[in-house]
Amino acid sequence: LHTHYIVYHNLNPDKTRDLNIDPVVFTQERAYILGPTATPRPVPALPQWRRLRPAPQSVHRAFAEDVTLPEAGAAEFHMAAGEGIARYGISFTGADDIRLELDRAENTISVKNRLGLVVREKLLKDYDHEALHCIRVEYGGGLSVYMDNLLRLKANVSLGGCGASYYADGQFAIGSAAAHSADKETLHYPVPCLAPGSREICFDVTTRGTYQLLALECKACGEAIRVDGNVLLPDCVDRESDLAFYRCDLTADSHTLQMNAETVAIAPYYGSGCDAVSVRNIGPYDKVCGREKWSNGNISADLTVADCGEGWQAG
């Protein structure tokens, strides 16, 4: 499937800048940057099946891809309606014969099965049906449909083992397509990081030690999570703020996390010996954006982690 990248720079203490090129992951509400990183990173794995089309391919009424979708995973398609097309979409042939259908007049996207409508949602009001759009489906324990990286709807259906074909009531265009299995990791989050907690993620630890995991906007606040398949219970739960705090010891390796939260923050546990807290004096700087000049006369900090010793008091 496609991986999106962001090219940006950061400001160093000596006022120099580094160029960063890191992947971006989109959900319905947020974009997560897998960075900044300063070391070589694993490249995203190629999908198990792909059909590359350098230019949109014109099709009349129907076209079948030569793919059988994995039992659980994700698939990505690109499709555009022709002029005057009222309804078009993707049909997933299998036990339930699922259809993902777009309606130009209603400006909606629907999931249907052989019994009828399962769920329907509105598209963005300025959605251009004649432009080539990316349609990504993630499935296995339910179906999530993303339109141009935005989550549009969810349905309690499965696409595992299905074939995929496009359909319309006239002329339409298709682009590249790809599919991969859920057990095929594609992106690795560097630690510390913010990551979507609504899916299984892979994150990389470079220093052995104790790490903290903070679940933000928990969907089931206080429930156990799984790190590398092992159950982990929360150390602290704040149900009013929908927060849960976890702590675990991790080796310098890649790890997997399964959690039911909107966002998860992963970072070294301070004072554990692997946190390496260090903020240096940046000093004044000027930045010109367009015709405006932005100045900050003093950005400085000196932060260290130290034992309080006996007789300490909070102040």
Same domain, 223 and 135: no
- Burial of 135 (C-beta count, 10 Å sphere; 0-12/13-18/19+): buried
pLDDT of residue 283 exceeding 90, the answer is no
179 DSSP β-pair partners = 49, 75
CA distances 118 to 105, 151, 154, Å, are: 19, 17, 10
According to the model, what pLDDT value does residue 291 have? 63
The 3-state DSSP class for residue 110 equals strand
Residue 297 confidence (pLDDT) above 60? no
User: Is 195 inside a domain boundary?
Assistant: yes
Q: Which of 262 and 144 is assigned the larger pLDDT?
A: 144
Could you tell me if 65 and 87 lie in one domain? yes
- Give the least confident one: 52-61, 70-79, 143-152, 297-306: 297-306
The mean pLDDT of the chain is: 84
Of the residues 181, 210, 244, the one at which a domain ends: 181
Whether residue 243 sits in one domain with residue 199: yes
Residues 264 and 192 in one domain: yes
Domain, as residue range, for 115: 49-181
More confident of the two residues 201 and 129? 129
Whole-number percent of the chain with pLDDT over 90: 38
In a domain, 242, yes or no: yes
- Would the pLDDT of 262 be above 90? no
| 193-196 sheet: strands from edge to edge | 193-196, 261-268, 209-218, 243-250, 236-238
CA 146 to chain centre: 11
Between 116 and 149, whose confidence is greater?
116
Do both 35 and 53 map to the same domain?
Answer: no
Tell me 191's DSSP state. Answer: S
Q: Is residue 286 part of a domain?
A: no
**Beta carbons of 174 and 166 less than 8 angstroms apart:** yes
Query: Coil, strand, or helix at residue 305?
Result: coil
Q: What CA–CA distance (Å, rounded) separates 23 from 307?
A: 38
Q: Which CATH number characterizes residue 39's domain?
A: 2.60.120
Are 145 and 229 part of one and the same domain? no
pLDDT score for 287: 61
Question: What's the rounded mean pLDDT across residues 52-76?
Answer: 93
Q: Is residue 204 part of a domain?
A: yes
Q: What b/e sequence results for 68-92 when a residue is b if at least 16 CB atoms lie within 10 Å of its CB, and e otherwise?
A: ebbeebbbbbbbbbbeebebbbbbb
> Is residue 300, in this structure, part of any structural domain at all?
no
- What value does the mean pLDDT take over residues 65-92? 94
Same domain, 207 and 177: no
Number of domains the chain is built from: 2
> Is the same domain home to 128 and 232?
no
For residue 132, name the pLDDT band (cuts at 50, 70, 90). very high
Phi, psi of 144 (to 5 degrees): -120, 130
Among 132, 166, 181, identify where a domain stops.
181
Question: pLDDT for 159-177, tens place per residue?
Answer: 989 999 999 999 999 999 9
Residue 140 lies in a domain: yes
**Do residues 20 and 97 both lie within one domain?**
no
Q: Which has the minimum average pLDDT: 47-56, 100-109, 179-188, 207-216?
A: 179-188
CATH assignment of the domain containing 137: 2.60.120.200
* Co-location of 155 and 202 in the same domain: no
Q: CA geometry: angle at 8 spanning 178 and 274, to 5°?
A: 90
DSSP state letter for 252 = S
Q: Indicate if 146 and 85 belong to the same structural domain.
A: yes
- Establish if 283 belongs to a structural domain: no
